[in-house]
């Protein structure tokens, strides 16, 4: 069984986890064209190499980030999402933009 | 004759308990399986390998920003680390499931509502919106079934169902594992009772009958059997 080191629960069977795709920065919703927004929502880069992905430990519903090499399928490191998302990000409304 | 249907609240596995010949008694508003005919023999079974249903017992939870601080202000001892539990003065457990989440399990020895109900009432008595964040209540009595697996063979039995090493020398008392047991998500809390190895096992109430059968099946080779609340209380007495 493949082992995933969960930042909250420690090493666990990979069957306890669900992967939710790569971590992508959200563009400003009100200043982004349809094509770029669709790209953000639907498309993935499918990088061959090291990627950052969202993973969830299902028994605890705990979401975290894992760095994984998609070529060797090695999990390099995992950490809480708070290490990346350190501050609240507010977006301006559609009519408030310059 | 007391039957589970006579009470406003009964266990998720009440039918299985009834079929196994349980004698029911009242615990607050709930029917609880006190024994299966011979509580003295069950106390012995519980020291080797016993499965008790604690689902009718009180329990609750709190989660979110400020929840841990609010609980500490109520006099609850909350462990500093996640996945550890702390025993309270009345025998209850405060199980820290995450930095911002605590599960409070009532004491098997207690008669009725106890600390979980007192905390729920205290939380509700304070005005909304809160002046300082105090998280939100996370009632656990209807969402989760609660079993106790006890006895010297408990870890060997769990090895068949669970990937986490729960052996007593690897999994210290009052440790928590939130993991998969028999393919369903579960919370396992080691809580030795009067010197006997014991694990609380909480799982989604919808899976209660499935897990009850799985556990009994896994216990057969160790001659494990269901035991009543009286046997669990006898363990606590030493």
The number of folded domains in chain B is 2
Confidence of residue A10 (pLDDT cuts 50, 70, 90): very high
- Using the Cβ of B172 and the Cβ atoms of chain A, whether some distance falls under 8 Å is answered with no
Q: Quick one: B63 and B84 in the same domain?
A: yes
Q: Do B177 and A8 touch (CB under 8 A)?
A: no
Burial of residue B69 (CB within 10 Å: 0-12, 13-18, 19+) is: middle
Domain boundary among B104, B120, B137: B137
Instruction: Describe the strand order of the beta sheet including A74-80 as a list of residue ranges.
Output: A17-22, A50-57, A62-69, A74-80
Q: Quick one: B224 and B107 in the same domain?
A: no
Domain range for B128: 59-137
Residue A52's nearest CA partner among A81, A15, A26, A89 is A81
Chain B residues within 8 A of A59 when measuring between CB atoms: 178-180, 185-187
Q: Do B83 and A8 touch (CB under 8 A)?
A: yes
| In contact, B101 and B63? CB cutoff 8 Å | yes
- Please tell me the distance from the alpha carbon of residue B201 to that of residue B188, in angstroms, as a whole number: 5
Q: Do B178 and A13 touch (CB under 8 A)?
A: no
Q: What is the dihedral of CA B126, B130, B133, B137, to 10 degrees?
A: 50
Domain boundary among B75, B107, B137: B137
- How high is the mean pLDDT of chain A? 91
Q: Quick one: B156 and B227 in the same domain?
A: yes
Q: Tell me the mean pLDDT in the region A7-16.
A: 94
- Using the Cβ of B211 and the Cβ atoms of chain A, whether some distance falls under 8 Å is answered with no
Written in H, E and C, the secondary structure of B18-65 is HHCCCEEEEECCEEEEEECCCHHHHHHHHHHCEEEECCCCCEEEEECC
Q: Quick one: B95 and B66 in the same domain?
A: yes
Per-residue confidence (pLDDT) for residue B1, from 0 to 100: 57
The enclosing domain of B199 has a CATH number of 3.30.1360.120
Q: What is the pLDDT of residues A61-95, one digit of tens each?
A: 999 999 999 999 999 999 999 999 998 888 876 65
Per-residue confidence (pLDDT) for residue B238, from 0 to 100: 63
Q: Quick one: B68 and B29 in the same domain?
A: no
Chain B residues within 8 A of A88 when measuring between CB atoms: none
Dihedral (CA of A66, A70, A74, A76) sign: negative
CA-nearest residue of chain A to B204? A59
Confidence of residue A51 (pLDDT cuts 50, 70, 90): very high
- Please tell me the distance from the alpha carbon of residue A16 to that of residue A59, in angstroms, as a whole number: 7
Q: Quick one: B180 and B103 in the same domain?
A: no
Per-residue confidence (pLDDT) for residue B191, from 0 to 100: 97
> Tokens standing for B30?
């709930």
Closest Cα in chain A, distance from residue B215 (Å): 19
Q: Quick one: B95 and B122 in the same domain?
A: yes
C-alpha distances (whole Å) from B18 to each of A34, B25, B112, B181 are 61, 12, 22, 25
SS3 B159: coil
Where does A1-23+50-86 sit in CATH, by number?
A: 3.30.2270.10
Domain boundary among B116, B137, B158: B137
Q: Quick one: B40 and B73 in the same domain?
A: no
- How high is the mean pLDDT of chain B? 95
- Please tell me the distance from the alpha carbon of residue B156 to that of residue B191, in angstroms, as a whole number: 16
Per-residue confidence (pLDDT) for residue B3, from 0 to 100: 84
Helix (H) or strand (E) run with residue A46 in it: none
| Residue of A60, A61, A63, A82 to mutate, interface with B, max B Cβ within 10 Å | A60
Q: Quick one: B66 and B131 in the same domain?
A: yes
Q: Quick one: B153 and B225 in the same domain?
A: yes
Q: Which of A25-29, A50-54, B115-119, B142-146 has the lowest mean pLDDT?
A: A25-29
- Using the Cβ of B98 and the Cβ atoms of chain A, whether some distance falls under 8 Å is answered with yes
Per-residue confidence (pLDDT) for residue A14, from 0 to 100: 95
**Looking at this predicted complex, what is its ipTM?**
0.81
Q: Quick one: B52 and B149 in the same domain?
A: yes
Chain A residues within 8 A of B178 when measuring between CB atoms: 9, 57, 59-60
Q: Which residue has the tokens 């023999």?
A: B41
- Which stretches of chain B drop beneath a pLDDT of 70? 1, 238
| Residue of A9, A18, A58 to mutate, interface with B, max B Cβ within 10 Å | A9
């Amino acid at each position: 069984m493949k082992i995933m080191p969960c930042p909250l629960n420690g090493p666990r069977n990979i069957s306890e986890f669900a992967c939710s795709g790569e971590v992508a920065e959200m563009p400003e919703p009100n200043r982004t064209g349809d094509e770029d927004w669709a790209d953000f929502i639907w498309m993935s880069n499918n990088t061959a190499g090291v990627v950052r992905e969202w993973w969830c430990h299902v028994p605890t519903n705990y979401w975290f980030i894992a760095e994984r090499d998609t070529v060797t399928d090695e999990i390099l490191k995992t950490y809480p999402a708070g290490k990346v998302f350190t501050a609240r990000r507010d977006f301006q409304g559609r009519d408030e933009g310059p | 004759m007391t039957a589970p249907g006579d009470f406003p609240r009964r266990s998720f596995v009440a039918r299985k308990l009834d079929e196994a010949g349980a004698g029911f008694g009242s615990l607050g508003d709930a029917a609880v399986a006190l024994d299966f005919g011979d509580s003295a023999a069950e106390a012995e079974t519980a020291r080797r390998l016993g499965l008790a249903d604690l689902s009718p017992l009180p329990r609750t939870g709190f989660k979110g920003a400020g929840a841990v601080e609010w609980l500490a202000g109520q006099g609850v001892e909350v462990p500093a680390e996640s996945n550890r539990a702390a025993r309270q003065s009345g025998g209850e457990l405060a199980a820290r499931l995450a930095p911002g989440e605590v599960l409070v399990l009532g004491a098997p020895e207690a008669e009725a509502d106890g600390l979980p109900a007192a905390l729920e009432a205290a939380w509700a008595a304070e005005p909304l919106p809160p002046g300082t964040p105090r998280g939100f209540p996370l009632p656990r009595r209807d969402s989760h079934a609660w079993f106790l697996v006890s006895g010297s063979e408990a870890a060997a039995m769990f090895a068949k169902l669970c990937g986490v090493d729960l052996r007593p020398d690897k999994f210290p008392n009052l440790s928590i594992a939130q993991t998969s047991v028999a393919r369903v998500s579960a919370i396992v809390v080691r809580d030795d009772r009067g010197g006997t190895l014991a694990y609380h096992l909480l799982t989604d109430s919808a899976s209660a009958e499935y897990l009850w059968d799985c556990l009994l099946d896994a216990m057969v080779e160790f001659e494990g059997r269901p035991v009543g609340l009286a046997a669990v209380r006898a363990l606590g007495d030493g």
